[in-house]
């Protein structure tokens, strides 16, 4: 009850309430924006727990500020912004919010597939700008989703949930992954090396976490392997795709289009990207439904409360932290 925690951005009230009931001090970023690095460093000093977002880097400099830090809870499933090894070496557990956002994020991958293939955002702009002058047989034609081959890259929870939805659209599924996955194969997905998946798929949907191995996993060479009629969908992390190469591929017709929820240098866009009609973009809202954001907040809060109380948190990503606790 005496713990002192920092929450780096306003999250749903219910989750803040959980923290207030369990901790002595709960400081929440008062601004309606991410903290600057300076603000974060000033606020992160002498804390027992940190509840942070994908917008704050957690590294040695941050960890040095709180000698008694008992845990870092991230309000996200992806935790590439956290130096997990640095936390582990100090005996600090790190948690994320898996499971609760799986279906919501799989839904957005589908929203982007349809939006890209059927030109939904482009069509909306067209109508809104008063350019729609009547039905035409060749007006704004797109590509079929039904029956197309879906390529899933990364057969984790979200990749598998995305594959599951393909049954309703009669789509053959192929997948590439570090490991074979029974769960996705039960859905009829066929395992392929990445290069073959890129050659065969009509939609390539990315679901790998961002690591040093997956940075620029999709670059010029990979885009060249894709069909010129295919679409690339990215709902994971921007740096998995070489955005410069993607702009060139979209401009030169190397692929038909793309649907992006994430960007390489978020929130900045690669020059040229926003000038292209064959890309549809969202502001990183994959998990962005009211219900899911509450579930993520409550999950992150429950993880943090367990950690500041010295209990095992439900969603620990570095269980080996215990070997280093002094």
Residue 295 binds to ligand GLV (criterion: CB under 6 A) = no
* Nearest C-alpha neighbor of 310 from the set 88, 46, 48: 48
Q: Are 88 and 322 in contact (CB under 8 A)?
A: no
Nearest residue to 187 via CA among 150, 132, 137:
150
Contact status: 217 vs ligand GLV (CB under 6 A): no
DSSP string, 31-95: SSSPPPHHHHHHHTTT-SEEEE-TTS-B-HHHHTT-TT--EEEESSS--TTB-HHHHHHTT--EE
- Nearest approach, Cβ of 160 to ligand GLV (angstroms)? 7
Catalytic residue selected from 119, 157, 284, 293: 284
Candidate segments 97-105, 139-147, 216-224, 308-316, binder of ligand GLV by CB under 6 A? 97-105
By CB under 6 A, tell whether 286 contacts ligand GLV. yes
**Residue from 214, 301, 263 nearest 7 by CA:** 301
Residue facing ligand GLV at closest CB distance = 156
- For 99, left (φ over 0), alpha (ψ -120 to 50), or beta? left
Mask 25-54, x = binds ligand GLV (CB under 6 A)? -----------------------------x
Q: Pick the catalytic residue: 157, 237, 293, 295?
A: 237
Return the residues of window 68-87 that contact ligand GLV according to CB under 6 A: 76-78
Map tokens 């890259």 to a residue.
153
165 among known catalytic residues = no
Q: Is 125 a catalytic residue?
A: no
Chain residues 101-160 in contact with ligand GLV, contact rule CB under 6 A: 101-102, 156-159
Q: 91: burial class by Cβ within 10 Å (0-12, 13-18, 19+)?
A: middle
**Catalytic residue flag (residue 284):** yes
CB of 36 to ligand GLV, least distance (A): 21
Q: Which is nearer to ligand GLV, 71 or 156 (CB)?
A: 156
Residues forming contacts to ligand GLV in the complex (CB under 6 A) are 54, 76-78, 98, 101-102, 156-159, 207, 286-287
Question: Which residues are catalytic, by number?
Answer: 237, 266, 284
């Amino acid at each position: 009850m005496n713990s002192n925690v920092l929450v780096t951005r306003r999250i749903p009230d219910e989750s803040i309430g959980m923290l207030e009931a369990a901790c002595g001090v709960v400081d929440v970023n008062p601004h309606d924006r991410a903290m600057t690095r300076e603000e974060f460093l000033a606020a992160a000093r002498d804390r027992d727990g940190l509840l942070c977002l994908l917008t704050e880097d957690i590294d040695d400099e941050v960890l040095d500020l709180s000698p008694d830090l008992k845990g870092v809870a991230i309000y996200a499933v992806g935790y590439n912004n956290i130096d997990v090894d640095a936390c582990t070496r100090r005996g600090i557990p790190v948690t994320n919010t898996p499971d609760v956002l799986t279906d919501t994020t799989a839904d957005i991958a589908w929203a982007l597939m349809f939006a890209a293939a059927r030109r939904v955002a482009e069509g909306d702009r067209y109508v809104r700008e008063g350019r729609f002058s009547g039905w035409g047989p060749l007006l704004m034609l797109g590509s079929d989703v039904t029956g197309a081959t879906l390529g899933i890259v990364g057969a984790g929870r979200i990749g598998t949930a995305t594959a599951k939805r393909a049954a309703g659209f009669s789509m053959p599924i192929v997948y590439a992954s570090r490991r074979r996955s029974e769960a996705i194969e039960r859905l009829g997905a066929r395992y392929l090396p990445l290069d073959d998946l890129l050659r065969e798929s009509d939609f390539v949907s990315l679901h790998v976490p961002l690591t040093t191995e997956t940075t620029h996993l999709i670059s010029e060479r990979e885009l060249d392997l894709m069909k010129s009629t295919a679409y690339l969908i990215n709902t994971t992390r921007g740096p998995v795709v070489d955005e410069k190469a993607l702009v060139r591929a979209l401009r030169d017709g190397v692929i038909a289009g793309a649907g992006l929820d994430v960007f390489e240098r978020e929130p900045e866009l690669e020059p040229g990207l926003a000038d292209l009609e064959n890309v549809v973009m969202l502001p990183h809202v994959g998990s962005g439904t009211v219900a899911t954001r509450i579930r993520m907040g409550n999950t992150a809060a429950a993880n943090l409360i367990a950690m500041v109380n010295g209990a095992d948190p439900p969603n620990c990503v570095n269980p080996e932290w215990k070997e280093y606790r002094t």
